[in-house]
A = this chain, B = another copy of it.
Amino acid sequence: MPQLKAFNISMSVDGFMAGPGQTQEDPLGADGESLHEWVFDSPGPVDSRYLAQRTQGVGATIMGRNMYGPVRGEWGEEMWRGWWGEDPPYHHPTFVLTHHPHEPVEMDGGTTFYFVTDGPAAALELAFDAAGGADVALGGGASTIRQFLDARLLDELNVAIAPVLLGAGERIFDGPLPAGYGVVSSEPGEAVLHVVIGRTS
């Protein structure tokens, strides 16, 4: 059975997965970039193994609108095409949750952004269809992950705890997990602690 998995969700020691004040210049909020240094700074073998999971056997991605871009409310005239340039790192159909309809955006390298206005369950059905039997990756932000978790649609949440403090921002864990979820494994990497949360019953 294909699964929905959130990979390498970086979280600060104080529990935030993005800093406060996301803008076009600061897509991860104040100091939010420090959460992801471990990804770019020559990751060691364990951290690399976790990073590689993001692309192995994954056929589609779902993300929240804030992960796609800084535009809020109506999409407006400006043609935002994501944070990642003309060849985004997804290389497969990518579904963006939004309340505002938007035509698909076709990028280079196999990534097409589709915009879904019918909520998480509808987005997941489209993504599983598009993935053709492969798993689906769930991106952020925190509220998107929390929505899928609360709806019990998420099979695996792979958290990477980075040794940084943000002081404020967006939390995933601001309340108990839904029943039936828990820590299923953990492994210290070279730079972060990997904790896999999944279905325990």
Residues of A that sit less than 8 Å from B by CB: 11, 13-15, 159, 161, 163-165, 167-168, 173, 175-177, 182-183, 185-186, 188-193, 195, 197
Contacts and interface: CB of A to CB of B under 8 A. Distances in A.
A11 B165 CA distance: 14
Highest count of chain B CB atoms <10 Å: which of A159, A161, A185, A197: A161
* Prevailing SS type, chain A contact patch: loop
A163 B183 contact: yes
Contacts of A186: 163, 191
Given A165-B183, A165-B197, A183-B165, A13 B173 contact: yes
B15 A183 contact: no
B173 A15 contact: yes
B192 A188 contact: yes
B164 A161 contact: no
Highest count of chain B CB atoms <10 Å: which of A176, A193, A197: A193
A167 B177 contact: yes
Contacts of A190: 188
